[in-house]
Structure 1
Amino acid sequence: MDAVATELLQLVHAFADHLREVSEHDFTHKPLPTKWSKKEILGHLCDSAHNNLRRFICAQYENIPPNIVYDQDQWVALQGYQQVPQEELILLWKLLNDRIAHVISTMPPTRYALTCNTGRNTPALHTLEWLASDYIRHLKHHLNQIFPGAL
């Protein structure tokens, strides 16, 4: 998990600076009415961080695997990310990921195999180790949407 935490911090700290260079116009532009803007994609990454941080914590102490699902469209819509100041959103994203990196880097190895249910209608049990690796994959996917070809 140390390697995942290190990679997470490197990605977030490098891309936080790049995000600050994006003009407000480019950050809020929606390619289609039903598609997210770059700002909403970053908001989605904040929501993903919230939900995954909860998974990494709750799975370590709950007696049964916690059921923590995430309805991304509802979260993005209800958070109203298009109206959030750019710097505030970047800072939130950075701080949430700093917390995740801390939690997973200090997690005892005996807890890596603990599970969390992420399934909405059917069970989808994943180990914390898998969730951490998948979190990095997911992060890279969306950073490539914001900065095509960056990763």
Structure 2
Amino acid sequence: MKNTVEELNAIVNLFSAKIGGIADQEFSAKPLPHKWSKKEVLGHLIDSGQNNLRRFICGQYENKPQITYQQDFWVTANGYQSMDKDDVIRLWVLTNQRIAKVLSNMPVENYNRTCNTGKEKENLHSLQWLAEDYVKHMKHHLNQIIAGSFDIVYN
């Protein structure tokens, strides 16, 4: 878990500045009306972070909690497209700092506790796996904001 936390912190520290350097017009531009802007992609990462933060906490004391996430609804409900760019970046940073703290505080014996991420069927993953996948997922979406940032294939 230590390596995951260190990698998460390094990514957030580096990319908060890189994302901040993107012009507002480019950051808010939607490639197609039904596709997310870079700002909304970062908003999606905030939503993903908030859902995973709940998994990382509840998964330590609940027996197989079911915490699902409907990404399009969350992005729309949060209205990231109309938010100030700096506020979206700040919220992304703060969310990930909180996740890093929770993961750092997690006792080793809780790493293999599981959480159900499935909407209709049981889809159990260990908290360790979820933490590692969270960073991979972040890299995948950061590539959508700043192309070529990571050499990763994410399914």
Identify the TM-score tier after normalising by the shorter chain: over 0.9
Supply the AA of the counterpart residue of 2:17.
Answer: D
SS of residue paired to 2:10: helix
**How far apart are residue 105 of structure 1 and its match?**
1.3
- SS of 1:61's equivalent in the other structure is coil
Alignment RMSD (CA, Å): 0.5
**Alpha-carbon displacement from aligned partner over 1:95-134 (angstroms, at most 9, x marks no partner):** 1100101111121110000000000011100000000000
Once superposed, which parts of structure 1, at least 4 consecutive aligned residues long, lie more than 6 Å away? none
| 1:147 aligns to 2:146 (yes or no) | yes
Residue 85 of structure 2 aligns with an amino acid whose one-letter code is Q
Q: Name the SS for the 1:31 alignment partner.
A: coil
Separation (CA, whole Å) in 1 of partners of 2:145 and 2:33: 17
Match of 2:104 in 1: 105
Question: What does residue range 74-93 of structure 1 map to in structure 2 within 5 Å?
Answer: 74-93=73-92
Query: Quick one: distance in 1 between partners of 2:3 and 2:148?
Result: 23
CA–CA separation in structure 1 for the residues paired with 2:123 and 2:102:
22
What is the aligned partner in structure 2 of residue 60 from structure 1? 60
1:48 counterpart = 2:51: no
Q: Tell me how far apart the structure 2 counterparts of residues 15 and 143 of structure 1 sit (CA, whole Å).
A: 8
Distance 2:38 2:46 in 1: 12
Residue 153 of structure 2 corresponds to which residue in structure 1? none
Q: What residue in structure 2 maps to residue 21 of structure 1?
A: 21
**Equivalents in 1 of 2:98, 2:141: separation in Å?**
19
SS of the equivalent of 1:116 reads: strand
Paired-residue identity, %:
52
With normalisation by structure 2, the TM-score equals 0.96
Letter aligned with residue 43 of structure 2: G
**Deviation by residue 1:16-67 (Cα, 9 ceiling, x = unmatched):** 00111011100110001111000000000000000000000001111x2110
Provide the secondary structure at the position in 2 that maps to 1:143. Answer: helix
* Alpha-carbon distance between aligned partners in 2 of 1:150 and 1:116, rounded to the nearest angstrom: 30
Unaligned runs of 5+ in 1: none
The residue type equivalent to 1:74 in the other structure is: F
